[in-house]
Every structure is written in C-alpha cells, then in structure tokens.
Amino acid sequence: MFEDKNEQRTPLSELGEFGLIQHLTSMVELQHTSSIKGIGDDAAVLEFDKKQILLTTDMLVEGVHFDLSYVPLKHLGYKSVMVNLSDVYAMNGNATQITVSIAVSNRFPLEALEELYEGIHLACKKYNVDLIGGDTTSSTKGLIISITAIGEADKENVVYRNGAKPNDLLVVTGDVGASYLGLQVLEREKEVFKVNPNSQPDLNNYTYLIERQLKPEARKDIPQLLKALEVKPTSMIDISDGLSSEIIHICTQSKVGCNLFEDKIPLDPQVISTCEEFNLDSTTIALSGGEDYELLFTIALDDFDKIKGNPNVTVIGHITEERDGKHLITRVGQKVELTAQGWNALSNK
Amino acid sequence: MFEDKNEQRTPLSELGEFGLIQHLTSMVELQHTSSIKGIGDDAAVLEFDKKQILLTTDMLVEGVHFDLSYVPLKHLGYKSVMVNLSDVYAMNGNATQITVSIAVSNRFPLEALEELYEGIHLACKKYNVDLIGGDTTSSTKGLIISITAIGEADKENVVYRNGAKPNDLLVVTGDVGASYLGLQVLEREKEVFKVNPNSQPDLNNYTYLIERQLKPEARKDIPQLLKALEVKPTSMIDISDGLSSEIIHICTQSKVGCNLFEDKIPLDPQVISTCEEFNLDSTTIALSGGEDYELLFTIALDDFDKIKGNPNVTVIGHITEERDGKHLITRVGQKVELTAQGWNALSNK
C-alpha cells in the first residue's frame, strides 16, 4: 500500500482503442451456453429459454466513489463487478454476463488498466460470469467505470422490493457496518501518510473492515441457499446505501411499516471495537454505513423454521402495517423513527 | 445557439440521487411486453421467447466526444441513444430497451439534465425503445453518458461482421461524410463566435451537415427493409468510425479482401459543395469522416436483383479473396490500398 513501484509504463496511445480492448480482453473465454456472442461485434448476443433476463448497471467515478491513493486498482475492478452482481442476486437471480465501459485520462498507463482488468477478470472467474462487451474511451479527468450486469432467473423465482406483507420477518445476511469503518481506517491512514510518508501503518486490528471495504463479496450463495431451503422471500434488496435506507425502500415500495430491533443487528467484533476506538455509535454505523453488499429480505412468518439457526442469516425485525410507521426498537426498548441516512450523509458530517 | 437563456436553475443537491432518478424518469411508460420490470428495483427484468437478446454499450465523455459549447443537450441525449441503437440495427435486430448512466459535475443544474433526458425520451419514443434503468452520480469534471441498448432478433436473422464471402456485393445505406463536415462547420462557427460574440452565423448552406452531426438517425428501417426484400446480409456493421475503418473490420473478421469504387460512394450535394469550400477531398471525408450511423453490409451476388434501384442503398464495391487485399479503385482507375483512418485521425491533422 502507498508504494510507488516504478514499473514499466506503456502509454495508452500506443495501442489505440481497438488494440486496447483486444489487449484487455484477449483472455476472455465465454462460459455460458447463453453467451452466443461476446466481444468483437456491434452487440453481444444472449440466448435464454423460458428464463427472465435481469439487467443492472452502476457507474463508479474517481474522486466520488473511490480514492486511488489507497484503493488498489485490482481491488477496484473486483469491487466494481461485485456492486453490480449484488443487484442481480438481490432479485434472487444468477448473474451470467457483464459489460464494462471505462473512460480514463492519459495519466493512467496501460499497466494500470491491466491491473483493473485483473480484478474484473478475477471476479468474473470466481462468480462464473462472462465479460461480453463494453467500451473504452479517454476522459479529460480521472477514471470512470460503468458496468452492466445481466442475470437470469426462472420467472416464478424473481423477487422484487414491493412484496413485503405485515407480520413478515425482516432478515439480513452476514453482518453490517464493517465496510464503512474500513473506509474510515483507510482515510485515517491516508492522513497519517500525508504527514509522514515513511510511516508503516499497522492495520492488523482492522483486516476484516478493510477487506469488506476494498474487496467485498456479493452474496451469490444466498439465492442458492434460499432455493435449497425452499424459501422464496416476499421482498429483497441489497445493502449498498445502508441498512436503514434499504429497509425504508422495501417498506415504501411494499406500502408497509416495520420494527427493527437494535440488539438483533449483526455486528462483527472488529466493528464493535473500532467503533469504540473511533468514538462512533455502532448502531449508527450499521444503519447508515453502506457498501456492505449483504442482502436484506423479508419472509413469511411460516418460513421461520426453515431459516432458524442458519448462520448465514439473522432475523432483525418484522413488518407491520403501513400506518404503524417504520421504527427502530432500541436496546432499552425505546421506539425511534427510522430515517434514511446513506453513507453520503455520514461522509458530510 | 450560443445563447444564455438565464433560465431557472435548481441545484442537483436539492433532489438527492433517488429523487433525481425519479424526477428524470417519472414519465417513462414501458411499451414492450418483454419489459417485465423497469426502473425502481435492483435490476430490470426482460422476458423473451425464442428470441436472441442483443446488448451493446457506449460511453460518451464531454471534451472527448462532444463539446457543449455548440451541442445542445437535447440533441446530445438523442444522439447518445442513436449511437447505441445503431449497433443493434447493425446486428439486423430490433432495439427494445436502453439503460442510461450519467455522471455529472455540480456545474450542471437540474434543467440541463432535464434537457438531456428530453432528447433521450424523444429518441425512445420515436424508436419505440423502453428506458428500463440506469444510474445517476456526480463527477468531478464534466458530463459522462454511458448507455446500454438491448435488442432482440430471431436467431436465424442475426448478422455478424464475419460472414462476407468473395464475390459478395458491398452495400451502404444513405450517404456518408456529412456528419464530419457538420462538425467542421460548427467548429468554425465556434471560432467566429469567440472573436465576435454578437455574430449571427448563417448556416443555411449547411443544414443537412449540421443535422447529421447533431441529430443523426439510426437506421431502424434497414433491418425491416431487408426482411421485406427477403435479403439476409452475409455481414453487417454500422458506420461510426468511418467507411474505410468499417470495411476493414468486415474484411478482417471475414478473412476476405475488397474493391471499393470511389465513384460509387454516395455523397450529399452539401458534402460536395462544402468540401470545395473547405478545400477538402470529399473521398477522404467519406472514407474517414465517421459518425454517419449508416449501415454497411455485404450480400450474395444472387440477391442483387432484390436491392437493385432501391433508393435506400448503394452498391459501392465487392468482396474479393483475402490475398487480393483491400483496395479503393479511384475515379481514374487507380488501385490504392484502403487504410483505416477514423475521425480521430482526421481531427489530429
């Protein structure tokens, strides 16, 4: 981290756009029978039989979504794919293809883009996703990444945000808040580095937090788990902006209210210890941190026995009538209105 | 053009990201039965039966692909859609959906994005395409637009770049070179305006050129025409980088050569007169100008009678064996090697 390797640098101009795309994607081998045609023509061709196609797109901008002074390009590539795949899994689908468009200024040498694509290819391989197209162009400033993910699902399995019903249970996968804290740790180290470029940061106490921030994993396993457990959620969403914001999305679109129990929110021990160190309230971090890429869903009460005791999921509350409002029930039993404060709001504090 | 209307300006921050997307897309009504779910969930859902899905994406960057000092935002939105639809038509398919991702700096007020989306919505309406998703975020500099278009085609109708065979005819739709000349006219007027902001440009002699540059139309009609004529091209591509570059793409991917006849290249009278005025060679402009968004395709010689005399298409050459090379046959019968010089190359002259 923070080191300048002084590696060989090839100006992008040497390759030209076609050469660049070819160079960056020459190792792609299509994996899915549905990928009829990938890179190399005007458009990609997909073929599905009795499947619904899921499509999602996200754009990441340097200086807005990431800071290259502490985000390695390989991790950035990996994470950019995760952000998109997560949206497909949040529909209870399986991601099958992505396209990647990149605008990049001249300050980036070829090796930088190779590193970025290394992370993209790694994500594709690990998640069994085909890279089927994209666009590479120059920018006047910085790096912009726009990814579109395509997925498929049997029609009857697709889960939307708007199906939550009163008495449904509110369930979250994994734990929350770690990614935002990882960002705080990295920001702090960046400031230390500015003052003393020779300092060697000791990040041992924050490994989980930093990994959650730099190299999150999308929950490909959850749609599979739900299928195996024979549970179809009534609604589902991924946690990109923060737990409270996502709960409110489900409630608003489903026209319901909810009670979320503070003491049920799953936190990693590093989140608790680091919140103490940074003098932050762990519940605020969990609710508003964002970038967890866990899944939040609701299930019918009758399905509780199927998920009970499963280490991948935690029941954190239940759905109520819309008129009852959206509330957090604190550890001491207080009922507080749930408000949406994404990580943007936190950053601006 | 060039006027400052001093209209009301709403800062984007007033709306927030969700509010902004909702504001910009609230009037979208899904048109296709295949559009199961559009904006408002984690991913869009499409459903097709026995169709192949076509997917293409392009990114446009301010200062690289467009100059807002003379490109009206509404036209930019319209053109951004055309660029993508054109790729779908070039596969002999029908465009059905698009996603639009935009990164924009704070200097753009809401009204600017509304204008941009006005053009996008107009294009969608005119071409019967559903806007099904996207992403809106801030940029540190300028405007970046990333569009993905999805289309469909019966499996047996999809046309790739790699199917041209020796003796096939090389065919182009419409005329070429006008868009690049339109850009030259606009660049000249910009320089005049810099010197004298009160000058009123007289653009009457360049209306066709400027329209081709600012508001190109993708050839949705050509796949339909080909179907009606019962012609399936052996290869097809759209003309974005310039006629010669696209011919070379087809030849390279099909492993064939070609003879292109200079006197057959279709030029609008305004292209000829403006080339004279600007002291430019019209053939060079036609070959390397780019951004025409016409279609270039090859057909079997046996299909010639079916297209003969059709005003939409012009036979400009024929395919040869690969070993014979790629040549331009000039008006005086000289055989010149065809080289790829996109509009970028031209701009750098």
A297-349 residue pLDDT tens: 999 999 999 999 999 999 999 999 999 999 999 999 999 999 876 444 344 33
Query: Which CATH code fits A12-157?
Result: 3.30.1330.10
- Judge contact between A259 and A181, C-beta under 8 A: no
CATH number of the domain at B12-156, out of 3.30.1330.10, 3.40.1280.10, 3.10.129.10, 3.90.1530.10? 3.30.1330.10
Query: Residues A145-160: what's their mean pLDDT?
Result: 91
Are A43 and B90 an interchain contact pair (Cβ–Cβ within 8 Å)? yes
User: With an 8 Å Cβ cutoff, is A151 touching chain B?
Assistant: yes
Average predicted confidence (pLDDT) for chain A? 88
ipTM of the shown complex? 0.86
Are A161 and B42 an interchain contact pair (Cβ–Cβ within 8 Å)? yes
User: With an 8 Å Cβ cutoff, is B138 touching chain A?
Assistant: yes
- Judge contact between B320 and B259, C-beta under 8 A: yes
User: With an 8 Å Cβ cutoff, is A120 touching chain B?
Assistant: no
How many angstroms away from the CA of A50 is the closest CA of chain B? 7
Q: Which residue on chain A is closest to B295 by alpha carbon? A: A42
Provide CATH 3.30.1330.10 ranges for chain B.
12-156
Provide CATH 3.30.1330.10 ranges for chain A.
12-157
Interior angle at CA A146, CA A253 and CA B155, nearest 5: 85
Where b means 16+ CB within 10 Å and e means fewer, A263-292 reads eebbbbebbeebbeeeebebbbbbbbbbbb
- As its CATH architecture, domain B169-347 has Alpha-Beta Complex (3.90)
Residue A244 burial by Cβ neighbours in a 10 Å radius (0-12, 13-18, 19+):
buried
- Judge contact between B295 and B219, C-beta under 8 A: yes
pLDDT exceeds cutoff 90 at A179: yes
How many angstroms away from the CA of A167 is the closest CA of chain B? 22
Q: What's the whole-model pTM score?
A: 0.88
Provide CATH 3.90.650.10 ranges for chain B.
169-347
Query: Residues A191-208: what's their mean pLDDT?
Result: 86
User: With an 8 Å Cβ cutoff, is A154 touching chain B?
Assistant: no
pLDDT exceeds cutoff 70 at A141: yes
pLDDT tens track for A89-132: 999 999 998 999 999 887 888 888 889 999 999 999 999 998 88
**Half-sphere exposure in the Cβ direction for B5 (13 Å, CA):** 7
Nearest-angstrom CA–CA distance, B272 and B243: 17
Q: Which residues pair with B135 in a beta bridge?
A: B101
Residues of chain B numbered 191-250 and touching chain A (CB < 8 Å): 237-238
pLDDT tens track for B253-270: 999 999 999 999 999 999
